[in-house]
Structure 1
Amino acid sequence: MSKTNASNTLLLRRQLAELTKHPVEGFSAGLVDDDNLYEWEILIIGPHDTLYEGGFFKARLSFPPEFPLLPPKMRFITPMWHPNIYADGTVCVSILHAPGDDQYGYEDAGERWMPVHTVESILVSVISLLSSDTPNLDSPANVDAAKEVRTDLAGYRKKVRKLVRRSAEEAYD
């Protein structure tokens, strides 16, 4: 193992230990496989007083070998309907975008990934995304969901609530 990989795994091990010792309200995190520190399974509990309240949303965090210089990828396994979550479940938030300037001009470099970010700061950012009454529609990851927010907000909310109910039922199976 290279020196870089050793420090990366140490950093990931530390963050996992910290989250295990001092859980943060709203989510839990663990390894998919005890032998692989680069794949985490996440459970996000739908934030109180939001469309997602009562839901249990499973996701994966996949860390690149270059972590923390490059951000992990986050993908929901639980079906999601949100303008900032791709149809395949991949989360689109600034904090998970590679460092540097945004070629499309939507984000400042300061909003994007920085090595000081932690798993906790990523998950707090995703919970904030789900908590927002008004999703970011400027550059949607899911164009159909964004269109529905604009043209049929009641239909959008109904679809989200249905997914939330299904996620809660599956959590208890």
Structure 2
Amino acid sequence: MLTLTKKLRREQESRDDQSSSSDKQGEGHVHQFESNNNDIIAQQRGPPKRVSVRDRLLVKEVQELNSALPSSCELKFDDPDKLHDFHLTITPDEGYWRNGQFLFHVHVTEEYNFAPPIVKCLTRLWHPNINEEGSVCLSLLRQSSIDEMGWAPTRRLKDVVWGLNSLFTDLLNFDDPLNLEASEMYQKDAHAFQQRVNEYIQKYSNKKQSSSSSSSNRR
């Protein structure tokens, strides 16, 4: 005989069973959602990035360069995680340009070290081997060179920095000029050449100017 108490108890047990089943289904949906969400995040992130040969080389080369940087040179990395892109400031302590400060932009391509870095002078100056557009004539920056001093995979970033620094001293070359007018002026009148150098230093390369100011002059 089904009493009222038993009936109520059965109805309660039935409701409890339905509630438990509903909870389990809900948990299943949650787990499925989390799994799908994790899959989407993983797809968005993609596979882990590989470090290029260039970047592996530069980690060591920049450390070596910083420990043996010429006193007239200063490196600046706008982004410390991008060692392939930096600025070099050269402040010659002797020679025709000793009162100036010259900013260079150096970009190391993915082809490094089979290809040389791309270098541009951002400060206007009067120089036989650097024209007023910022192009630089330096043998080691050439893929091939008639003097057999062009780029080779054995060269390093420090060779580039030391080479640029030496353009203001012992690598200065009036016989193979990029700026022909500057070279001819020196050949005809060295004093006039020095005056023109000083004029450019005063106008474009004052030490009181910031690097960004020097950069804007080139733009």
With over 3 angstroms needed to count, the CA separation of the structure-2 counterparts of 1:2 and 1:94, relative to structure 1, is farther
Higher radius of gyration, 1 or 2: 2
Contact 1:76/1:90, CA 8 A, preserved across alignment: yes
With over 3 angstroms needed to count, the CA separation of the structure-2 counterparts of 1:21 and 1:137, relative to structure 1, is closer
Pairing 1:117–2:163 present: no
Return the match for 2:132 from 87, 98, 117. 87
Distance 2:80 2:94 in 1: 35
Return the match for 1:16 from 62, 71, 75. 62
With over 3 angstroms needed to count, the CA separation of the structure-2 counterparts of 1:108 and 1:23, relative to structure 1, is closer
Q: CA RMSD in A?
A: 2.6
Shift of 1:142: 1.0
Unaligned runs of 5+ in 2: 1-47, 214-219
Return the match for 1:96 from 135, 141, 149. 141
Map 1:1-173 onto structure 2 (within 5 A).
Answer: 6-46=52-92, 48-99=93-144, 102=145, 107-109=146-148, 111-132=149-170, 135-165=172-202, 166-171=205-210
User: RCO greater where, 1 or 2, for CA within 8 Å and sep 6 or more?
Assistant: 1
Shift of 1:135: 3.8
More strand by share: 1
Contact 1:56/1:171, CA 8 A, preserved across alignment: no
Please state whether the residue corresponding to 1:130 is helix, strand or coil: coil
* CA deviation map 1:5-39 (0-9, x unaligned): 61211112222233345543221223233453322
Q: Paired residues, what number?
A: 163
* CA deviation map 1:73-132 (0-9, x unaligned): 211111111111122112111011104xx4xxxx332x1111222222112122222114
| 1:136 counterpart letter in structure 2 | N
**Percent same amino acid at aligned positions?**
22
Unaligned runs of 5+ in 1: none
Which has the larger displacement, 135-144 or 30-39?
30-39
Please state whether the residue corresponding to 2:52 is helix, strand or coil: helix
Please state whether the residue corresponding to 1:113 is helix, strand or coil: coil
The normalised TM-score by structure 2 is 0.65
Partner of 2:28: none
* CA deviation map 1:144-165 (0-9, x unaligned): 2112112232121112123334
| 1:10 counterpart letter in structure 2 | R
The normalised TM-score by structure 1 is 0.80
